[in-house]
Structure 1
Amino acid sequence: MTDVTPTPGIHHVTCVAGDPQRNIDFWVETLGLRLVKRSINQDDSGTYHFFFADAEGTPGTSMTFFPWEDLSAGKVGSGQVSRTAFRVPEGSLDYWEDRFEEYDVDYDDRVERFGETVLPFRDPDGLPVELVEVEIPDDEATVPWTEFVPEESAIRGFHSVTLWLADPQPTMELLETMGLEKQGTEQAQGDTPGDERTRFVASGPVGSYVDVLPTVESGRQGHGTVHHVAFQTPTDEDQQAMRDAVRSEGLSPTQQIDRHWFRSVYFREFGGVLFELATSEPGYTSDEPLEDLGGRLVLPGKFEAQREQIEANLPDVTIPTAETADADD
């Protein structure tokens, strides 16, 4: 097997939404994440691409969305990321349950998983999401965004993704090839179809976990589903080595693609989940100052010359701020 630098963990997760304004309102105002980039789908310039993250867009914190309004509702099933989980500070789930009540968020009872307390909920498109209480270390890698949610409760990047797979074994071996280590197995809890949940852990402090569950339940892509999960390969050299390792396992990764804020390689793993490998640089501040992230529509590369046409085809959206939220109350 090709030598690889183990992935530090999840880089970002990209999902499919419906109404773009509703998507922004929920992820910014209700969940308190920062809109760090407002752009377009580089493979479909008539669709927005929103990036929600911590205050600085740290790798391992950005949940991104393609709001394809014309698609129908999706269904989570085998070959998909079934849930995406975020870290929150210990003791903050009471705050989040109260907030979910205030904002009429659809949530479930807490469950215990691998010794941690988990609060499952869904976004307005039905996307399954979770908050997991963790101890925040003194050298915490994320920078909380506190415009809507106080620091002591704010989301601190990814905790994990859960993969639903018809045959988990090849994917579990792939995760080990990517440098994740098997942590353990326990009986699944919550609305999951499998009998056992197997957890793998990466080397980084954020987005460290990948859980695998067996299921043959069929699914379809649409609103409320994950499009792909990206793993960190911080440098081009790390990414090339990981690409070689993935190819050696019999998979077919793409060539490197420039995504403006990171460089990417894509492949479908054995169970059908779309994986991406993403570099750390140049990052979200490469084309906007830190204080202005998300403030304008950024059109990377060749798309800037098409700005007038692209803007005319996109619906208007408003980014919530604490001031506008107070004015609406």
Structure 2
Amino acid sequence: MQQLTGIHHVTAITSSAEKIYEFFNEILGMRLVKKTVNQDDIETYHLFFADDAGNAGTDMTFFDFKGASKGKHGTNEIARTSFRVPDDKAVSYFLDRFEQFNVKHEGIQEMFGKKILPFEDFDGQLYQIISDEHDNGVAPGTPWKNGPVPEAYGIYGLGPVFINVSQFTAFKAAFEKVYLFKETASEGKYHLFETGKGGNGASVIIVDDVESSSAYQGYGTIHHVAFRVPDEAVLNEWVERLQQFNLPNSGYIDRYFFKSLYARLSMPILFEIATDGPGFMGDEPYETLGEKLSLPPFLESKREEIEAQVRHIDTVRSH
């Protein structure tokens, strides 16, 4: 059985598509590589922020569900997303940048031998910058070449995703058995799990949290995390694997930009497995990625209806 190769993407919920676009583009310097809609709820935007060309393993995505209430952080949730930067100097750069833009942060810290900088956005969504200075695992992407952050300091991939659980021993056993991650280190209540080549881009940090009350989903929280597989053939092997474990799952789903498989290892935590390709370059040129509303072919016939339902967001940067 081929292991998962790392983190593919993280999808979260925002209160404002406009504000999250500004936060990710102008402050974090992550490129909007695709402006599309939730394929299961066409009134909702699905925005993809990633590296220079939208490489797998680099994208954080957002839904802006109409009428969503604010979520609550706690135990039994996917709690925090990490963004990889090349080295410790880049972490310091973002500390200065967050001070400049009044971004709430917790200062530079260290975890599992890596410099980190925890911070949050206007919704209380939790993130951290993490240094690749001593990283030898799965390769990152490429920083946005024409963004507001210098390439030498730019975000170029996703790092460890934090998952808070109230029953750590049971969750660990199931996570290792089904998804084949292995625990490689621990610091107090924080447990580091890795897959594939390991390193920042192939890690999950499971937090043994018996003290917090249960989280609930809403804006400011994470909807799901996706793990990477190279292609459709391996994805189908994982479909069979989840069926062998009698784990309820979606089966194979074609998301056009990638192929997917969804399952809940533990309620309410949703995991996706997604292929590295085809990617985001098929329907827009590199120079204008994310500037128009992009729709998969099966929704193209509904373009007029969809454009009437989702409010316009100006994402043109090429000029």
Superposition TM-score, scaled by structure 1 size: 0.89
Q: CA deviation at 1:302?
A: 2.5
Q: CA deviation at 1:270?
A: 2.4
Q: CA deviation at 1:111?
A: 2.1
Q: Which runs of 5+ in 2 are unaligned?
A: none
Does the alignment pair 1:314 with 2:307?
no
CA contact (8 A) 1:14 1:65 kept: yes
CA–CA distance in structure 2, aligned partners of residues 270 and 20 of structure 1: 29
Does the alignment pair 1:30 with 2:24?
no
1:191 aligns with none
Q: Secondary structure at the match of 1:309?
A: helix
2:185 aligns with 184
1:245 aligns with 241
CA contact (8 A) 1:170 1:270 kept: no
1:255 aligns with 251
Question: Cα distance 1:148–1:16, how it changes in 2: closer, same or farther (>3 A)?
Answer: same
Superposition TM-score, scaled by structure 2 size: 0.92
Q: Which runs of 5+ in 1 are unaligned?
A: 188-195, 324-329
CA contact (8 A) 1:32 1:145 kept: yes
Q: CA deviation at 1:110?
A: 2.2
2:106 aligns with 108
CA–CA distance in structure 1, aligned partners of residues 17 and 271 of structure 2: 24
1:132 aligns with 130
CA contact (8 A) 2:288 2:316 kept: no
Does the alignment pair 1:231 with 2:227?
yes
What are the superposed Cα offsets for residues 20-65 of structure 1, whole Å, 9 maximum, x if unpaired? 1101000111100010000000111001100000001111000000
Q: Secondary structure at the match of 1:291?
A: helix
User: CA-atom RMSD, angstroms?
Assistant: 2.0
CA–CA distance in structure 2, aligned partners of residues 76 and 235 of structure 1: 34
Q: CA deviation at 1:140?
A: 4.8
CA–CA distance in structure 2, aligned partners of residues 109 and 46 of structure 1: 38
Q: CA deviation at 1:121?
A: 0.4
CA contact (8 A) 2:8 2:227 kept: yes
What amino acid sits opposite 2:93 in the alignment?
A: Y
Q: 1:201 aligns with which of 183, 194, 204?
A: 194
Q: Secondary structure at the match of 1:286?
A: coil
What amino acid sits opposite 1:231 in the alignment?
A: F
Question: Cα distance 1:141–1:89, how it changes in 2: closer, same or farther (>3 A)?
Answer: closer
1:214 aligns with 208
Q: CA deviation at 1:239?
A: 1.2
Q: CA deviation at 1:285?
A: 1.2
Does the alignment pair 1:292 with 2:291?
no
CA–CA distance in structure 2, aligned partners of residues 111 and 75 of structure 1: 24
CA contact (8 A) 1:266 1:275 kept: yes
Q: CA deviation at 1:106?
A: 0.9
Consecutive aligned runs of 4 or more in structure 1 exceeding 6 Å deviation: none
CA–CA distance in structure 2, aligned partners of residues 284 and 320 of structure 1: 17
Q: CA deviation at 1:315?
A: 1.4
| Percent identity over paired residues | 36
CA–CA distance in structure 2, aligned partners of residues 227 and 312 of structure 1: 26
What amino acid sits opposite 2:166 in the alignment?
A: A
Q: CA deviation at 1:286?
A: 2.1
What amino acid sits opposite 1:210 in the alignment?
A: V
